[in-house]
Amino acid sequence: MTGTEPLRANRDDHLARLETDAFDVLIVGGGVTGAYAALDASLRGLRVALVEKSDFASGTSSKSSKMVHGGLRYIEQGNLGLVRHSLLERQRLRRNARHLVQRLPFLFPVMEREGVFDPRLAKAFESLLWTYDIAGGWREGILHQKLTKAEVLSHCPTFDETWLTGGFMYFDARVDDARLTLNLVRTAAFHGAAVANHARVVALTRDGHGKVDGAIVHADGRERRVRARVVVMATGVWLRDWTGARNGDASALQVRPAKGVHVAIPWLKIRNDCTVTIPVPGRNRRATITRWGNVSYLGTTDEDYDGDLDDVYCTRRELDFLLEGARSALKTDLCADDVVGSIAGCRPLVGPPGGKTIEMKRNHEIRVASDGLVTIVGGKLTTSRHMAEQTIDTVGRLLGRATRCRTKSAYLLGAAGYDAQAIVASGGLAAHLGERYGTEARFVSDIADATPSLLAPIVDGLPYSEAEVVYAVRHEFARSVDDVLSRRTRARLMARDASARAA
């Protein structure tokens, strides 16, 4: 590959390498943590394989709140260290994936009663925001602001002003989580990793001493033996089912899936230009409404989940819960018929049963079992790079090979030389492609220039074109309609019914 050519994503070649090559490390799980681990190991010069049983980012990593943030509530929990570290990692992502990560303003309304924060707590909350700024919020280049009632309404005209007195605004970032994960995988492949989606590990293999030395991978109707000196399990919540099946040392890691649901509503019904924080009636918690393209997505829930991890969906009870919160804060009378899409996934929390999942810390754990299997679980999207760094440090020790992490400053494909401000200001198709592909947008444009009919949208009312579908199949490992509509684009979140018709 050269700078004038896109990455050649020939999955058959990668599958062949899984069978013929010998690897230093095999990473199981193609979510954001596994993808970052594959990139980290590749940049250190290790021979790397990455396999994912479904599509890259098909689990938790495409169903998050899509925020790259420190997390104000972690300050409230007393976890200032996590906030400080998360804000540092946020800025690394803002640099290294600059085409995918954008500034996101957060609005906190202050109300006379029944608000997110009433006037009695407003001063305390402002102190909290100063703490956030000092901990690293300042890295965004702008500090929090105090807003008047009129300014709050200018950011969200549909907010119910009955008890509104003003508000606060602070700044974090957002990301298309699925495309970030995919970009990590593609960048790892560019640096030499063998990567394969729709490739399921059916068993681990062991040497004569009982040490894990690879895996049996099923893909395209047959099994392949993958040889690796170290195997890393980065399967997130699916570790719950895996450890239960093997009864190995990793069972000491207690994975607690916490379900989170978001629903999408046409933006014109909300008209917010930032993330608006709203109270949840009868609950000591908050929800958010965030604009993304032509929709605003509302979420999230946070509850224990013990069902089928491959069949997580938004229930009517969860839908009603979120809409009730929105109706309590907005003048718009939202109903179920207004919902155009939804996503539901599970966060991989580490800890025993008991207490509320929302109160659990988002820490991560790395374990090395007696058979040499490395397991990483927990954490959050914002800290995934650091989690991967620590994981590959562990792999290096097992290999007896000390190497330096390079992901703190390594650009992802499409990021180097990308001028976000100029591209976004240009508007139209250039801005749409720029925020999805960065400097690689020119390759999508080349496809459209060669066949102008491919500029046709794949879903009416959305900006995604047939040229992007061609690019996804050729260069982004897309294998199915769902791969394209749910993760290479986000059409199924933004227009569920229209996407079904397009499929």
pLDDT in tens, 83-111: 788 888 999 999 999 999 999 999 999 88
The rounded percent of the chain whose pLDDT value lies above 90 is 74
Is residue 43 located within the same domain as residue 123? no
Average pLDDT over residues 124-141: 76
Residue 498 pLDDT > 60: yes
- Here the tokens at position 321 are 């819960």
Cα–Cα distance list, 16 to 45, 194, 267, 364 (Å): 20, 9, 46, 33
Q: Residue 222 sits in a domain of what CATH number?
A: 3.50.50.60
Q: What are the tens digits of pLDDT across the range 435-470?
A: 999 999 999 999 999 999 999 999 999 999 999 999
Is residue 328 located within the same domain as residue 295? yes
CB atoms within 10 A of CB 315: 13
Residue 251 pLDDT > 50: no
Q: Which of 364, 260, 488 is nearest to 37 (CA)?
A: 364
**pLDDT confidence bin for 66, thresholds 50/70/90:** very high
More confident: 115 or 198 = 198
Is residue 439 located within the same domain as residue 314? no
Q: Which of 133, 201, 206 is nearest to 171 (CA)?
A: 133
Q: Under 8 Å CB-to-CB from 59, ≥6 apart: which residues?
A: 31, 236, 237, 238, 309, 345, 346
Is residue 313 located within the same domain as residue 331? yes
Residue where a domain terminates, one of 357, 378, 409: 357
**pLDDT confidence bin for 246, thresholds 50/70/90:** very low
Is residue 270 located within the same domain as residue 335? yes
Distance between CA atoms of 324 and 329, rounded to whole angstroms? 9
Domains of the chain: total: 3
Is residue 243 located within the same domain as residue 369? yes
Comparing 56-70, 285-299, 359-373, the range with the smallest average pLDDT is: 359-373
Residue where a domain terminates, one of 307, 338, 357: 357
Q: Residue 279 sits in a domain of what CATH number?
A: 3.30.9.10
Residue 248 pLDDT > 50: no
Per DSSP, what are the bridge partners of residue 25?
A: 48, 230
- 205, 216 contact by CB (below 8 A): yes
Q: What are the tens digits of pLDDT across the range 9-55?
A: 999 999 999 999 999 999 999 999 999 999 999 999 999 999 999 99
Cα–Cα distance list, 490 to 264, 362, 462, 495, 496 (Å): 11, 26, 10, 9, 10
Is residue 142 located within the same domain as residue 291? yes
Residue 282 pLDDT > 70: no
Distance between CA atoms of 436 and 99, rounded to whole angstroms? 7
Q: Is the peptide bond before 439 cis (omega within 30 degrees of 0)?
A: no
Residue 115 pLDDT > 60: no
Is residue 141 located within the same domain as residue 108? yes
Q: Which of 123, 172, 228, 208 is nearest to 216 (CA)?
A: 228
Per DSSP, what are the bridge partners of residue 436?
A: none
Is residue 469 located within the same domain as residue 373? no
50 within domain boundaries: yes
Identify the pLDDT of residue 358: 62
Per DSSP, what are the bridge partners of residue 336?
A: none
Identify the pLDDT of residue 420: 87
Q: What are the tens digits of pLDDT across the range 325-376?
A: 999 899 999 999 999 999 999 999 987 776 666 656 668 999 999 999 999 9
Is residue 287 located within the same domain as residue 297? yes
Q: What are the tens digits of pLDDT across the range 197-237?
A: 999 999 999 999 999 999 999 999 999 999 999 999 999 99
89 within domain boundaries: no
The rounded percent of the chain whose pLDDT value lies above 70 is 92
Range of the domain at 389: 11-61+178-254+361-399
Q: Under 8 Å CB-to-CB from 392, ≥6 apart: which residues?
A: 25, 37, 40, 41, 44, 46, 403, 405
5 within domain boundaries: no
142 within domain boundaries: yes
Is residue 222 located within the same domain as residue 149? no
339 within domain boundaries: yes
Comparing 155-164, 275-284, 383-392, the range with the smallest average pLDDT is: 275-284
244 within domain boundaries: yes
Is residue 476 located within the same domain as residue 445? yes
Distance between CA atoms of 163 and 179, rounded to whole angstroms? 40
* Residue 122, φ and ψ in degrees, nearest 5: -60, -40
In the predicted model, what is the mean pLDDT of the chain? 91
CB atoms within 10 A of CB 209: 8
